[in-house]
Structure 1
């Protein structure tokens, strides 16, 4: 078996091939479609099974991973940057170069359990790109509105600046609406997306905008992931720091994961905690009976909502509040 490590950057790909535990000299390729094909052609000449390991690097690794996954005779694994960093520490690596990191990735593929990367469907990729652009524009709109408020607070601001800021807010709102309409069009054109969208938006507290963002992030995940793995992927899993008799910190959510899922779940958790009876009951149970602070209770609701959505999509059933949290039977009933 041949293992290959590829260090990914914006413009360059550094490839190290390991055969029978020995690393060959690093080769460099351009991070372009032509460079991806050159790597595939080079790997196709090798005898035996070829497994490639890539560290996730923002968006720069994605096209390469797609090209490799579609190539015949090549399996690709995309690893978490934190895993790659800690693995390099375990190898006692003292220097940091592109070639060394590529070799470390090749060693990782050789020694660690190999989990093949699955290329998501094209419509799921498109939906996530649209959704993340909406999130970026929404953040920019909020910043612009805050700047406009500050500028309007003083009489010294020229009218021209105020007018341009107001025009920018209108422009951003138009772009967000256009993208959201396009996202709905993509969802309506694909049965699986539409079915999942209707189930998610059926939960009281999850409106159109949140449903699109949640859907775009979870539909791109491997189908065999468990609810706990979803929670860990979203960074909503508890982080416990406890050692001996002197170190005992309060548990917190890890936040090591997909921030877009956390952002998409926050407002629905707040709204559902006020207007959905069973979720509201669970929220108050956490505060009154378990002694959690309000923000901790909201995080717990976010986590349980994610569990609920996982179960709904797996069983193709609508949200059942009684399964989310059984309300206590009143004394008068």
Structure 2
């Protein structure tokens, strides 16, 4: 350990491949900073690096750690790391199920498809659904072993539109964010922050989502936002308010996702259930009931 005194390490986030090394260094009391690949790439551009090799990338990361403010990586607990594995595997299986259902729809569009092929396609869907159910149940067993995780599950499923599957997906990502972040920083981590592009008097591009953050968080919020705008009167009123003010439906859904993330941040920070009346104040003139 004496040889490691004063050592700082910078790693570029590479999916899950950097995690084991980051944990090993952290557990050996070596300060670790996990660098966003986009930040490392832009830093290399600033240095006018013309080549990209392993040696060049390593030197660039070393210079990044030396010059920039060192932000130490916070080690997630083993249970939250396991929960993220469950969440991402469930997402992958759900994507496979959607693809299998689309394939079955294509097969049934023609009478020339043999019945044996249709049976096999349906069997593949049933098999995927069973695997999803088994993994979801295992994830819930893990969550209920830890009171702090079980409490988060209860808070999330208290929001109309967030069922257990969506809650697992959200927990698998949100609980691994660095502690102490504000709700705006959560939004930025999710890539739900607006990105403006204005230059001079003539260039004014439409404001879009940055999408520079964790795509898994955005994916986990999408279906809950769609469901909440249908079943929660306050979320529905907020969605309609956005449409009435010129937002396109997809823009309004993204705004609901962002506002839901704000709400979840507050709920977990203060350990309080979702208060839909605080989500959006319904104007009295709309004639909608104040209580769902």
Q: TM exceeds 0.5?
A: yes
Cα distance between partner residues in 1 of 2:51 and 2:260? 44
- By how many angstroms is 1:108 displaced? 0.6
Higher relative contact order (CA 8 A, sep 6+): 2
Cα distance between partner residues in 1 of 2:104 and 2:275? 43
* Alignment partner, residue 81 of structure 1: 37
1:202 pairs with one of 152, 158, 177 = 158
Cα distance between partner residues in 1 of 2:154 and 2:86? 19
Does residue 142 of structure 1 match 2:98? yes
Query: What are the within-5 Å matches in structure 2 for residues 176-215 of structure 1?
Result: 176-215=132-171
Structure 1 portions without partners, runs of 5+: 1-43
Structure number with bigger Rg:
1
Cα distance between partner residues in 1 of 2:232 and 2:109? 39
- By how many angstroms is 1:283 displaced? 1.1
Where 1:167 maps in the other structure, the secondary structure is helix
* Alignment partner, residue 219 of structure 2: 263
Q: Give the TM-score normalised by structure 2.
A: 0.95
Cα distance between partner residues in 2 of 1:223 and 1:331? 40
- By how many angstroms is 1:48 displaced? 3.9
Where 1:241 maps in the other structure, the secondary structure is strand
Query: What are the within-5 Å matches in structure 2 for residues 1-333 of structure 1?
Result: 44=1, 46=3, 48-72=5-29, 74-288=30-244, 290-330=245-285
Which structure is higher in helix share? 2
Which structure is higher in strand share? 1
Alpha-carbon spacing, 1:331–1:87, altered in 2? closer, same or farther (3 Å): closer
Cα distance between partner residues in 1 of 2:275 and 2:84? 27
Alpha-carbon spacing, 1:61–1:273, altered in 2? closer, same or farther (3 Å): same
Structure 2 portions without partners, runs of 5+: none
Aligned residue pairs, count: 288
Where 1:46 maps in the other structure, the secondary structure is helix
What are the superposed Cα offsets for residues 241-282 of structure 1, whole Å, 9 maximum, x if unpaired? 111111101111111111111111111111211221211121
- By how many angstroms is 1:331 displaced? 8.5
What are the superposed Cα offsets for residues 61-86 of structure 1, whole Å, 9 maximum, x if unpaired? 111111111113x1111100000001
Q: Give the TM-score normalised by structure 1.
A: 0.83
